[in-house]
Chains A and B, each alone.
Chain A
Amino acid sequence: MMSQGLFSGMIVLFWLAEALFGALVVYWFITQGFDSDTDTARDGPVELEDRSETLRSLGMWAAFFAVIILGIIVGA
């Protein structure tokens, strides 16, 4: 059974994560706009993402699932 401190901390963590997620997406939109017409005209063709980009995404997933499992263990 989780303690009161852990319960309160969990809710605060959810709030912060939600705020961070929203801020990141809004930041991307503000800095990038609707489409990539300008970028591609300047930088050339858009290739499929490279291996490092995919590995970075998979690393984020691994970290995320690790946090979930840790949360289940700590909050048991």
Chain B
Amino acid sequence: MVTQLTGAGLLAVWGVAMIALSYYIYRRQSVNDTEEFITAGGRAQVGLTTASFAVTWMWAGDILGVPQYVGITGVAGIWMYAAPAVLSSFVVIPFALRMRKLFPQGLTYSEYFIERFGKIAHIAVIVVILYTMVLGGVIQLFVGGSVIGGLTGIDPNIVMAVLMGVIGIYILLGGLWGSMTTDFVQFVSALALTLIFVPLLLLEIGGPGQVYQQMVTNLGEQSSSFLSMANFSFIEDLFLPYALGLGVWGVVSLATWQRVFAVRRDKTSRFLTIGGIGVFTTIAMYSVIGFVGLAAFTDVAPGNLSIEALGLLPGWAAILFLLVALMVLGSSVDSYLTAIASLTSRDIYYRHLNTDASDDQQLRVARGASIGFAVVIFVATVFALGSISFVQLLLIGGIGASALVGPFALSLFWKKASQAGFVSGVVVSQVVTAYLLAASYGIVVSTPALKLWEIMAVGHLVSTGLTLLVSAASPDDFRFESIAQEGSEIVTDGGVEGGEDK
């Protein structure tokens, strides 16, 4: 346990450091126009972007989630948890390469839909992305409030308010540059601390060998299944829902797309590959918390394994853990907040409300949105903290992905995909999965009660199937070359010259 004073001091140091860093990058990179704010000018190097991408995918929830998986299914929980996150980076590669070919320098990927289909499809996409990104922020803040508040004794609402206040300010200053630069520092800090913190935790029990022996003793007959990588007993509950939801979440996440458009065009698949595989190693390291918990305790619920195991550490080590939590939490929330600010400025304000908006006006809206949505995420998290479970939040986020991935793929590679097909696929899929989700939790309706992975699968089938069927019945004949940005020859920074976004 960390004292309230120490916890408040850590929060203050973290906040001042992140804001100062963002101010530095704001001055260094001259973040004074929308393109710099939203895409970092499309010229960020692969190291910076890979770090930012990876640490955005290192969710604060992983610190609780991975040990929980290990507590339920043993060592197999490592790949059951990590594989979906990694899969997301793999699946997004063909989308990314196709988009960067069509849109050499996009600002938000959602703008593609207005060019490909029109305003109705664009609005449908905006709604899905907006709630997905807000939920992404809520999920992170939810864990931050619970864990940091729990470890320090500070009221979780105060912790969340401080976190969102700091993140809102540094995004307001530096936009994507601010997000990626603070992400880099957070990435290095989180990795360094994990590399120190995990061995320390193991030594508290006596090393890996001792952890193994105590696990065998404590688990008794269950040890053979808990120490088998091929323990598939919980694959339907643990692996499949996340593979079908979070496994494709990267394709939908505007935070992912901002980094795709930010990196140099010739490094697109490399940063997704190294970043994605690197995330696996981090998640795998968190599994050690679960192993130590299984070795030290015999009657702790999987959901509490993480907190109980961390309780074994001396106070100073708990501070290390708190720092890891702050770093991974800040990196994810700031990415979603930047994405929402970009979506508000470009997709909602510029594309629908004020199509003549100047660059200055768009930038002002983006900065205003970064503060406005910081408040929205905070209020939503305060509400969620008392009424929804962490797993429910994760599931709802995944459902947004199930509605968009198939129709998005068809729109990119099939010229006959039409607006009617796309919109019907996305909207009907969302309605169907929302109904099935409500039924599975007994909210208002109670049948049919499907498993989570089945709901996800239905979402994918409905969205992709309807887009196919309706488009086949009423086909488009789209010329992809027509959406290449005006004057799209590539200039030295990887961007385009004379495009409409200039």
Contact = CB atoms under 8 A, between A and B. Distances in A.
Interface string B30-70: 00000000001101111110110010000000000000000
A37 B45 CA distance: 10
Interface in B271-286: 272-274, 277-278, 280-282, 284-285
Given A1-B227, A47-B490, A25 B274 contact: yes
B273 A72 contact: no
Nearest to A33: B45
A34 B265 contact: no
A24 to B, nearest CB: 7
Contacts of A56: 270
Given A36-B493, A57-B269, A75-B229, A17 B47 contact: no
A73 B51 CA distance: 31
Given A35-B43, A41-B492, A45-B491, A61 B202 contact: no
Given A25-B50, A29-B51, A44 B274 contact: no
A9 B278 CA distance: 19
B309 interface: no
Interface centre among B192, B207, B278 (most CB of A within 10 A): B278
Contacts of B212: 4, 7-8
Contacts of A44: 492
B188 interface: yes
Contact of B492 (A4, A12, A45): A45
A10 B291 CA distance: 12
Nearest to B28: A34
A5 to B, nearest CB: 9
Interface in A44-76: 44-50, 53-54, 56-58, 60-61, 64, 68, 71-76
B43 A27 contact: no
A19 B86 CA distance: 18
Contacts of A41: 492
Interface residues of A, number: 53
A71 to B, nearest CB: 6
Contact of A25 (B198, B208, B278, B492): B278
B497 to A, nearest CB: 10
B229 A71 contact: yes
A46 B50 contact: no
Contacts of B28: 34
A60 B44 contact: no
A34 B213 contact: no
Given A57-B93, A61-B90, A61-B273, A2 B75 contact: yes
B187 interface: yes
A7 B264 CA distance: 40
B264 A26 contact: no
Contacts of A35: 29, 40-41, 43-45, 493
B228 interface: yes
A46 B265 contact: yes
Given A11-B202, A54-B269, A1 B264 contact: no
Contacts of A58: 93, 269
Interface of A: 1-2, 4, 7-8, 10-12, 14-15, 17-19, 21-22, 24-37, 40-41, 44-50, 53-54, 56-58, 60-61, 64, 68, 71-76
Given A25-B187, A35-B40, A49-B267, 12 more contacts: A2-B75, A11-B291, A34-B29, A35-B45, A36-B43, A45-B490, A45-B491, A46-B43, A46-B265, A48-B101, A54-B93, A71-B229
Interface of B: 25, 28-29, 40-41, 43-48, 50-51, 54, 75-76, 79, 83, 86, 90, 93, 97, 100-101, 104, 181, 184, 187-188, 191-192, 194-195, 198-199, 202, 207-209, 211-213, 223-225, 227-230, 264-270, 272-274, 277-278, 280-282, 284-285, 287-288, 291, 489-494
10 contacts: A18-B191, A21-B278, A32-B48, A35-B40, A36-B264, A47-B265, A57-B93, A57-B269, A61-B273, A73-B230
